[in-house]
Amino acid sequence: MRLQDKVAIVFGAGSVGPGWGNGKATAVTFARHGARVVCVDINREAAEETVRIIAQEGHRASAASCDVTDSAGVRAVVDAVAEQHGRIDILHNNVGYAQMGGPVELDEAAWHRTLDLNVTGCFLTCKHVLPHMLARQSGAIVNVSSIAAVRYTGYPYAAYYAAKAAVNNFTLGLALQYARDGIRANAIMPGLMNTPLIFQQISGQYADAAEMVKARDEACPMGRMGTAWDVANAALFLASDEAAYITGVSLPVDGGLSGRAS
C-alpha cells in the first residue's frame, strides 16, 4: 500500500475508448495502493467508469468532470477535493491531445488547441493545486509528457512536439521552484504505447489498425508497444515516498526507443 490514505487527483482518468488508457490505469493503480482517488475527465461517464472499476475492487474513488483549459472549472474541482478530504497529496496530469500536421498544414486553431490541452491544462491544475500543497509543505506532481518532447517519432505533428517539450520544461521549473517546499514534480515520457488513444488519433496514418499495431510494435527495441500499465507503474513510483529524493526528472517509459539514434 505505497500510497496509503494519500489523496490523489487524476486529470484525464477516463479512457477515450474501450480498454485501458494511461490515466484510467493510473487511477486504478493509485487506488490499489491505498490512495483516495478523484477521477476527473471532461467526459463524466468515462470518469465514472473508472470509479466503478475501483469500487468493484473494494477501493476508494469519486468522479468529477471539467475541461482542463477552463480555469474556473479546474479550481472548482480542486477546491471541492481539498474541502472534502482536507488535503491534496498527489496531482497527476494525463490529459493529452495530438493532431497531425506540420506548420503548413495545421491551422492556427488546431495549434492553439494542442498547446492548451497539453500545456495550459498542466499550468491550470498546478495553479489551483499548488496552494493546497504549499499549505502542507508536501506534495507530488506527475505530468504525462511523451518521447515526442525530445525526438522526432515519425509522425507529422508539429504542435505536439512543441507542447510536450513545453511540458518537460514546465515540470523542471516546478521542481526547482518548489524543491524547498516539500513538493516534487516529475514527468513521464511514454514511447509507442498500445492504448485506445492511438486508434483515435494515430491510426489515420496507416492503411488500417492492424498495420498500425504491427508497424509500431516493430519500431520498438523490445518488439512490442508498451501498455497503460507501464505508465501507471512509473506514475506510482514517482508519486510514492520511494521517490522522495527524485524531482525534475522526465522519465522515458519507452522500451528503449529514446536511446535509438533513429
Task: Give me the sheet containing 250-253, strands edge to edge.
Answer: 61-64, 36-40, 7-11, 90-93, 139-144, 183-190, 250-253
By three-state DSSP, how is residue 36 classified? strand
Place of cell 522522495: 244
CA distance 29 to 52: 14
Of residues 108, 87, 97, the one with CA closest to residue 9: 87
CA distance 260 to 262: 5
Catalytic residues: 160
CA distance 26 to 23: 5
11-37 burial string, b = 16+ CB within 10 Å, else e?
Answer: bbbbbbeeebbbbbbbbbbbbbbbbbb
By three-state DSSP, how is residue 257 classified? helix
